[in-house]
Structures are given as structure tokens and as C-alpha cells.
């Protein structure tokens, strides 16, 4: 891989506990209790995040939550107000960008307009006085990797947005960094090209095995591409996990709702078993929710995604012990073709959203109909 970062003697401290991920593995690139203030505004607060070697991780959150600031601190373009950043166990907090083994693909691509594709890609290596034979080998590799072999003689203005994107990517990868940072790199592309580039970027990341830290505000994009997603809100890290984990087991209300539609319901704790808690809803039905370690007071908040709930005529189904069943009345039914969406009002007035695929022999329901909603106890998540 690329040249080692020369950090001198001052910063050889090892990764501390805060930078250890939940598997106990120490981070390859770690943020340790990092805070960034702009005068008295806190943009990033006490961020602990351990990025693993070779993973594709996304920083996901709404605009203004601190994603770019976090990325700029990793890249060395912004200095943390407090906290540390470590690469392979070595502190890099105060180092300028060019002394970190980390490259950034900027949203604007920042290509040189007067240089052709090949020259744009080779530029950085030439400046580093790398031998021309090696430049040719390395530039040739990345040109191939990003699929630009046919376009090496073109100027940036003669390329489509997607092709310019590939040049920017190649220009960063040619340095063989340990980590590549990408700040909303696909946001300028139209939807179709964007979907194509998502798969392409993921393929390239797998081929080169470099860790990618990818910033996006689009939850679908983050889930499609990432090994893990770090969800941020208001400068804080809400949850880190695989797309499946954060979607199926969100730990906060913010994560639950940011990642897609979720019915959030409240109930009163009655009893617990190893796996489940029994909870009483406002309409008096008793249901089971996954047990979690934490419970303060008797109120339990849990969520069920609309597609995990099945809707049927009352009493029609035979159910397993761990299937919840509640009664309601359809208030709205919308047919989409592949699916139908129902709003169902429970007897206490709570509204629940249900998403049902339309099977060949599927029954549809109409507004006003009495129905039964069922879901597997472990398909819900407890907050």
C-alpha cells in the first residue's frame, strides 16, 4: 500500500477503549470522543467511532447533522476542538491532509479543466516525483478499475457527470490511500445514473479493499452500499450497525423513523421472560415485544414496521404463541399495484400503518372493515 504516514515520536499512543467497536476489535481509523465547535455552536459532539479495515461505512443523517464536519476532521481539513483521531493506532489528530494516508473525493470533483483524464489522474503522482514507469502502471490500473480506458484523452468538459465522478475517484485511488473519504459524491447525478454508480462504487471498493467512509443523507443509498451505517443526528452518533441491524433493531426513535416508516406504539410493562416482555396496550390487548436490557419505569415504547404486519379478517388465522394479534378497523386503503397500504385504527384511536404485498390470491380490505393485525413478536423492536 501507500507510503507510511510519518508522525515522528510525539504520537505513538495506542487505541484507547473508546475507539474499540462493539466486537472488541480496535479501530483501523478511529474517532475518540471527538467534539467540534464553531464558536459556541457544537457541530459534532463526543463522537466515538471505530472504522474497520476494508469496510464500506456510511455516515448517514439529515442535512446539518455534522457529517461533512466529521469527514473533514478525518481528512485533516478541520481540527477537532477536543478528542483524538487515530489511524492504525497512531494519533493523526494534528496532521495536515497530505501527511495522512487518507484521500478525499469532493462533491464538486475538483478536476483540472485544462488537463485530460490521464493527466488529471497522474498529476498527484508526478508532483510526488514518482518514476514515470510506476505512474504509468498505477494510473493504468485505476483507469481500468473505474472503466475509463476509452476516455483517457478527454478533457473533463467532454465527459458526463458519471464519468467525471470516475475520474475523481481514480485520482484519489491512484495514491493508494488506506482510507477514502467520499462526501455525497453521487448527489449531482440523476436517479438512474446514481443507482448505477452506487453498485459500481461498491464493486470498486470491494476490488481495491480500501476502507470507504461515505457521507449521505439518503437512507436507501446508505443501506444499499454499506457494510455498516453510522446514523447521526444533531452532531451525535445515534447508532452504528449493519443495514439489517439498524433497520430491524433501531435503538432510538430517531433511527427508527429516519430509516423508513415505523409504527411507534406505547404500552405498559406487565411481565418479562427471557426473550420477551408482555406489554398492555391502551386498548387493553396484551402483546409481546422483544426484551431489551434497559427499562425505566413501566412505559414501554416499541415499533413495528408496516411490512411486518399482516392484515386479515378477524379470527381467520391460527397463530403461534409468539404472534401478536390486535383488532382494528380500516380507515384508509390505498392500492399501489405491487402492494396495498392500509391505515388501521385500533379501538383506543391509535393509528397503525400496514403495508401488504398483493399476492395472486390476496384479499384486499376496504375502509370501514373490521380486521385483525398480526405480527411476530420478534419482528418488532423495543426502544
Ligand X SMILES: Nc1ncnc2c1ncn2[C@@H]1O[C@H](COP(=O)(O)OP(=O)(O)O)[C@@H](O)[C@H]1O
Q: Which does 66 bind (CB under 5 to 8 A by kind): ligand X, Mg ion, none?
A: ligand X
159 binds ligand X (CB under 6 A): no
The whole-angstrom separation of Cα 211 and Cα 73 is 16
**HSE of 344, CA atoms in CB hemisphere, 13 A:** 28
Determine, following the binding rule CB under 6 A, whether residue 250 of this chain makes contact with ligand X: no
With b for 16 or more beta-carbon neighbours within 10 A and e for fewer, the 178-214 pattern comes to: bbbbbbbbbeebeeebbeebbebbbebbeebebbbbb
Applying CB under 6 A, which part among 56-64, 168-176, 222-230, 259-267 lies near ligand X? Answer: 56-64
The residue among 66 and 80 lying less far from ligand X, judged by its C-beta, is: 66
40 binds ligand X (CB under 6 A): no
- Among residues 263, 215, 222, 267, which one has the least CA distance to residue 246? 222
CB of 47 to ligand X, least distance (A): 11
Of 65-73, 143-151, 159-167, 360-368: span binding Mg ion (CB under 5 A): 65-73
* Minimum distance of Mg ion from residue 68's CB (angstroms): 3
**Closest CB to ligand X among residues 61, 250:** 61
- 66 counts as binding ligand X under rule CB under 6 A: yes
The string of DSSP codes covering 322-375 is TEEEEEEEEEEEEE-SSEEEEEEEETTS-EEEEEEE--TT-----TT-EEEEEE
Question: Which residues from 202-231 bind ligand X, rule CB under 6 A?
Answer: none
Residue 62 CB, shortest distance to ligand X, in Å, is 7
Q: Residues in contact with Mg ion, total (CB under 5 A)?
A: 1
Binding flag, residue 68, Mg ion (CB under 5 A): yes
Please give the Cα distance from 81 to 91 (Å, whole number).
15
Binder of ligand X out of 26, 48, 56, 69 (CB under 6 A):
69
The CB-of-92 to ligand X minimum distance in angstroms stands at 20
Q: Dihedral angle at the C-alpha atoms of 66, 72, 78, 84, nearest 10 degrees?
A: 80
Of the ranges 3-11, 60-68, 91-99, 129-137, which one interacts with ligand X (CB under 6 A)? Answer: 60-68
- With respect to ligand X, which residue has the nearer C-beta, 37 or 155? 37
Q: What is the DSSP string of 253-305?
A: HHHHHHTS--EEEEEEEEEE-SSEEEEEETTS-EEEEE--S---SSEEEEEE-
Euclidean distance between CA atoms 115 and 139, whole angstroms: 14
Q: Which member of 2, 64, 209, 314 binds ligand X (CB under 6 A)?
A: 64
216 scored as a contact of Mg ion (CB under 5 A): no
Tell me, what DSSP letter sits at residue 70?
Answer: H
19, 51, 56, 68: which one contacts ligand X (CB under 6 A)? 68
Site for ligand X in 10-39 (CB under 6 A): 38
Burial level of 376, CB count in 10 A (0-12/13-18/19+)? Answer: middle
Among 29, 43, 279, 281, which residue interacts with ligand X (rule: CB under 6 A)? Answer: 43
Question: Distance between CA atoms of 236 and 332, rounded to whole angstroms?
Answer: 37
Site of interaction with ligand X (CB under 6 A): 38, 41, 43, 61, 63-69
Site of interaction with Mg ion (CB under 5 A): 68
Amino acid at each position: 500500500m501507500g507510503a507510511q504516514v510519518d508522525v515522528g515520536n510525539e504520537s505513538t499512543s495506542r487505541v484507547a477503549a473508546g475507539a474499540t467497536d462493539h466486537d472488541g476489535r480496535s479501530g483501523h481509523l478511529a474517532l475518540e470522543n471527538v467534539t467540534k465547535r464553531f464558536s459556541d455552536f457544537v457541530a459534532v459532539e463526543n463522537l466515538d467511532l471505530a472504522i474497520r479495515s476494508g469496510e464500506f461505512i456510511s455516515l448517514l443523517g439529515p442535512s446539518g447533522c455534522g457529517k461533512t464536519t466529521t469527514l473533514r476532521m478525518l481528512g485533516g481539513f478541520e481540527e477537532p476542538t477536543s478528542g483524538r483521531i487515530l489511524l492504525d493506532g497512531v494519533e493523526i489528530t494534528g496532521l495536515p491532509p497530505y501527511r495522512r494516508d487518507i484521500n478525499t473525493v469532493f462533491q464538486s470533483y475538483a478536476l483540472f479543466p485544462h488537463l485530460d483524464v490521464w493527466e488529471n489522474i497522474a498529476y498527484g503522482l508526478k508532483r510526488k516525483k514518482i518514476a514515470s514507469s510506476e505512474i504509468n502502471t498505477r494510473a493504468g490500473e485505476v483507469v481500468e478499475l473505474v472503466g475509463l480506458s476509452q476516455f483517457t484523452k478527454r478533457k473533463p468538459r467532454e465527459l458526463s457527470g458519471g464519468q467525471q465522478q470516475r475520474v475523481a475517484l481514480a485520482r484519489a485511488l491512484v495514491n493508494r490511500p488506506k482510507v477514502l473519504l467520499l462526501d455525497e459524491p453521487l448527489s449531482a447525478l440523476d436517479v438512474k445514473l446514481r443507482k448505477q454508480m452506487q453498485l459500481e462504487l461498491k464493486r470498486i471498493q470491494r476490488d481495491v479493499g480500501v476502507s470507504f467512509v461515505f457521507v449521505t443523507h439518503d437512507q436507501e443509498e446508505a443501506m444499499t452500499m454499506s457494510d455498516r451505517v453510522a446514523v447521526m443526528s444533531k452532531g451525535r452518533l445515534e447508532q452504528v450497525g449493519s443495514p439489517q441491524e439498524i433497520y430491524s433493531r433501531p435503538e432510538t426513535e430517531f433511527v427508527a423513523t429516519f430509516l423508513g416508516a415505523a409504527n411507534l406504539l406505547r404500552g405498559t410493562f406487565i411481565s418479562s421472560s427471557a426473550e420477551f416482555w408482555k406489554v398492555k396496550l391502551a386498548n387493553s390487548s396484551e402483546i409481546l415485544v422483544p426484551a431489551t436490557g434497559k427499562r425505566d419505569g413501566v412505559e414501554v415504547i416499541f415499533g413495528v414496521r408496516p411490512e411486518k404486519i399482516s392484515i386479515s379478517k378477524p379470527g381467520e388465522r391460527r397463530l403461534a404463541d409468539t404472534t401478536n394479534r390486535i383488532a382494528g378497523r380500516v380507515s384508509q386503503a390505498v392500492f399501489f399495484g405491487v402492494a396495498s397500504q392500509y391505515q388501521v385504527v385500533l379501538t383506543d384511536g391509535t393509528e397503525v400503518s400496514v403495508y401488504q404485498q398483493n399476492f395472486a390470491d390476496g384479499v384486499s380490505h376496504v375502509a370501514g372493515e373490521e380486521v385483525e393485525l398480526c405480527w411476530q413478536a420478534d419482528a418488532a423492536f423495543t426502544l
